[in-house]
Structure 1
Amino acid sequence: MTATVLRLDPSDKPTLDPMISLVATDMNLVNNVILDRMQSEIPLIPELAGHLIAGGGKRLRPMLTLASARLLDYSGTRHHKLAAAVEFIHTATLLHDDVVDGSDLRRGKRTANLIWGNSASVLVGDFLFSRSFELMVEDGSLKALRILSNASAVIAEGEVNQLTAVRRIETSEERYLEIIGAKTAALFAAACRIGAVVAERSEADEAALDAYGRNLGIAFQLVDDAIDYTSDAGTMGKDAGDDFREGKMTLPVILAYARGDEEARKFWKDAVEGRRDSDDDLAEAITRMRETRAVDDTLARARHYGQRAMDSISGFPASAAKDAMIEAVEFAVARAF
């Protein structure tokens, strides 16, 4: 069977529309679960959770659970609660991330921590994590529980690993990939793998979907980290240059530092350690990245992982679900263009 090759023409804009259409009916049922389980007798909880959950996110991770189950011809309903659990895990991590990062914008809107404060955001995030575990237990599958609970632990480890790498210029590319593999790709992988679990398919099918999600997640994060230096708040849903000002060692910075001369390396060391964080400094950072092709090569790596994601599902029969999952990879990479 011939593998699909990732499209590279930036004028040929892929979208998530095929996946959205594919899972629309199931996604309505997932949204019903989400709305029901975010309720509480404490009014602040649904108010704060709803601010983020209804804030314009694409629901990509739960859609991947639904699409993966569809790829395997699953016709039951177990994946609805598990997809909702995936979205609750993701939302909880976003609430916690915004507190850690001190973010002001999320998806183009003011962050929950800016409106309600850090304490409320952390506690509502904890509430959503708890709800996700309730949904896992209700499903009754120890395998699904193990996959999603492990992903939750790995995400937390990745966030701590990233925290300890902030403002450390010596952070390596290997460590960076470990961080994004944990904090982003782990949930993509778990979201896809549980599609095979509910369909009661083989370990090989589980592994194929895990690999698809993991590689897609890495590609997705690489693109996010690249366009932080090429985009604006209207495109990113956050302030351009946030990673730069927060001293995050993302791949564009790692590459630009490694390829720079002595003067450039001093600039990057000062910037990462917080001594160069003005708008002019950001402009200089972007110029230095352009000179070293740091962003271009970050996007090239994203395309590499995107191709690996598509190769992972090449063995499944042709179907609308497979086509939608392939275009989702192309969409994730094309966001940079």
Structure 2
Amino acid sequence: MDNHSAMPLPTMMPSASLQSLNTLAVPATAAFLARVSSVEQLRAVLAWRKQEAGQGDPLPIMALGGGSNVVLAADFPGLVLQIDIQGRDIIAEDDDYVWLKVGAGENWHQLVEFCMNFHYWGLENLALIPGSVGAAPIQNIGAYGVELCDYFSELSAVEIKSGLSVNFDKTACRFGYRDSIFKQQMKDRYIITSVTFKLRKEPAVVCEYPALKQFFEQQSEEGLEYGVEPPSPHRVFDAVCSIRQSKLPDPDVIPNVGSFFKNPVVTQEQYQNLQQQHEGLVGYPVENGQIKLAAGWLIDQAGWRGYQQNSVGVHKDQALVLVNPGHASGAEILLLAKKIQDDIKAKFGVVLEVEPRIYQ
């Protein structure tokens, strides 16, 4: 067993504000906050937590990266760990691939830029997704036809109960649409410390996603460089950034967590019935013959885009994004979300699932 007492313990901040650590800018506090910059520090903090508890229950734990996928519905009565583990290291390569191990505290978009600069291909469609690398596998982030699992090799995590490091390969993570084992059976049992990606040395451009395809077609019609076929990875990266910046507000300007709801998946029969009732219904085929609906389209059609309720609202340009310009409580944000969910269920018979993690 490791000697936890010899490990450096980071500063433990009592009654710490979390408002600047969540992109919704929700005013909430934690009983304790610690910034962890190494696996050794993480183990030391976990040992401290166990020691403080004595014979009682240890403090609940929340691991925070960029704070871009959480809703703090109340003050957190436990220990918040801000994961700041850095590092980008090539651990293996062959003629076709490079395996890049990245610290969980690295900024996601900066990682994508790094990979572009060194011609490690695959992540370009995931540009400008807010948050940290360690949070990315938990919900299997995805955008514009690519998911994290497409270029995932393995991750390392520390078990909260024992303080021991464990590796998870792709199969063990049980990735699904915006899902993984860390949101299901292994929820709150591990803290991810690093992620290893298997990236291509030769580009394999993915640009068939409708929004990307439309972007390049429009550029071609206007005679601009972006319309040149086939698009390079750099052009895909630039296109993704352009589309996201035109559709999604900057959390530093208007507090938000990006997409607040998952795109619901329905059966072919349900999709066809909805098509007959709602002209222009947006849907994309997925596995098992099912159809993924555009949650933003449903919310927009129901009239919620631009809606304001006290200090919270729905973004004026993107109905999928709830915004918190007045720094309202998490409870107020969730109240608005519930109204939208109830309305969409009543109008379309479709259940919308909240995408960010809710801490109550």
TM-score, L = length of structure 1? 0.30
Bigger-Rg structure (1/2): 2
Q: Which has a greater percent of helix?
A: 1
